Amino acid sequence: MSTAKTGSGYHHAHHFDSAEHEYVSAKQGVWLFLCTEILMFGGLFVGYAIFHHIYPEIFKVGSKFTDWRLGAANTVVLLTSSFTMALGIYYSQKREQSKAVAMLAITILCGFIFMGIKYIEYSHKIHLGLLPGTWYSADPASLVKYVGDMEIPSNLPMYFSFYYMMTGIHGIHVLVGMGLIAWVMIRAMKGEFGPHYYTPVEGVGLFWHLVDLVWIYLFPLLYLVS
């Protein structure tokens, strides 16, 4: 693709009039993409709402196996990462390169912490045999200490179907987001961003905030629902 020079040194693509024109177009594209993400997660949330209406008891019992402290810790981690992401965009705009890179690195680190805590939670459940659907193999005797005298509903596995589908698809988004942040961080290290060009950082930032926002809904729906 041929490029055209602008005063700022950034080469905008040939079919745009200016770097500003390319920026607003790219931003609209990112927002449309976020709409598709919301609709995709929307399917899961609608499924959740319907089955929560039909079988409220499986969500009541199922959430006993989640640890709200770990969930809350992850919420704090992601909120912090959203803040550092926003700072990363801010410093990229200001061309304060080392601060921008540091903020993006912290954001990635938060992603690792989030996935680490998720790993602990997953392995605990997998150890108990609390798997989705037909893979569920928990021994009822080993569950007593979590649920006390609550009766274990026969279709409890469906709670774990929701748990793994929702947190799993969200987790994939976290991993993709971390990869994207690593990509803009490397570009930031090369000094590609400044007041006239920071579109990729901002686009990735918007995506990261959405991933964060989805978790804000998942946390109460899966951990605090009882």
Partner 1 sequence: MASASTASAAHTDHNYLNHEKGLWSWLTTLDHKRIGIMYFITVALFFLVGGIFALLIRTELFSSGQTIMTAEDYTRSMTYHGAIMVFFVIIPGIPAFLGNFFLPMQIGAKDVAFPRLNLASWYCLIGGAAVALTSLAFGGADTGWTFYTPYSISMKPAVIWMVMGAFIAGFSSILTGLNFVVTTHKLRAPGMTMNRIPLFVWALYSTAIIQVLATPVLAITLLLLAAENIFGIGFFDPALGGDPVLFQHFFWFYSHPAVYIMILPAFGVISELITAFSRKTIFGYTAIAYSSLAIAAVSFFVWGHHMFVSGQSEWAGVVFSFLTMLVGVPTAIKLFNWMATLYKGSINLSAPMLYALGFMFLFTIGGVTGIFLATIATDVHFHDTYFVVAHFHYVMVGGTLMAIMGGIFYWFPKMFGKLVNDTIARWSFFFIFMGFNVTFFPQFVLGSMGMPRRYFDYLPEYEFLNQISTIGAYMIGIGFVIGTIAVIQGLLNGKPAGPNPWGAKTLEWTTASPPPHENFIQQPIVTAGPYEYR
- Among positions 44, 105, 147, 206, the unique one binding partner 1 when judged by CB under 8 A: 44
- Among positions 6, 11, 37, 117, the unique one binding partner 1 when judged by CB under 8 A: 37
| Nearer CB in complex with partner 1: 53/145 | 53
Cβ atoms of 143 and 15 within 8 Å: the answer is no
- Does the footprint of partner 1 cover residue 175 (CB under 8 A)? no
The angle, 0 to 180 degrees and rounded to 10, between the axes of the packed helices 97-128 and 199-222 is: 30
Least Cβ distance, residue 91 to partner 1 (angstroms): 27
- Does the footprint of partner 1 cover residue 61 (CB under 8 A)? no
User: CA–CA separation, 87 vs 220, rounded Å?
Assistant: 27
- Does the footprint of partner 1 cover residue 176 (CB under 8 A)? no
- Does the footprint of partner 1 cover residue 167 (CB under 8 A)? no
Least Cβ distance, residue 33 to partner 1 (angstroms): 6
- Among positions 8, 80, 97, 155, the unique one binding partner 1 when judged by CB under 8 A: 155
Least Cβ distance, residue 39 to partner 1 (angstroms): 4
Residue with tokens 């055209």, as numbered in its chain: 4
User: Helical H runs in 63-198?
Assistant: 68-93, 97-128, 140-147, 157-189
User: CA–CA separation, 53 vs 73, rounded Å?
Assistant: 28
- Among positions 5, 14, 69, 190, the unique one binding partner 1 when judged by CB under 8 A: 14
Q: Which residues pair with 197 in a beta bridge?
A: 194
How distant, in Å, are the alpha carbons of 37, 65, 66, 70, 90 from that of 76? 23, 20, 17, 10, 21
| Nearer CB in complex with partner 1: 56/116 | 56
Per CB under 8 A, the segment of 103-111, 162-170, 182-190, 211-219 that binds partner 1 is 162-170
The DSSP code for 132 is S
User: CA–CA separation, 190 vs 162, rounded Å?
Assistant: 42
- Does the footprint of partner 1 cover residue 39 (CB under 8 A)? yes
Per CB under 8 A, the segment of 106-114, 133-141, 177-185, 216-224 that binds partner 1 is 133-141
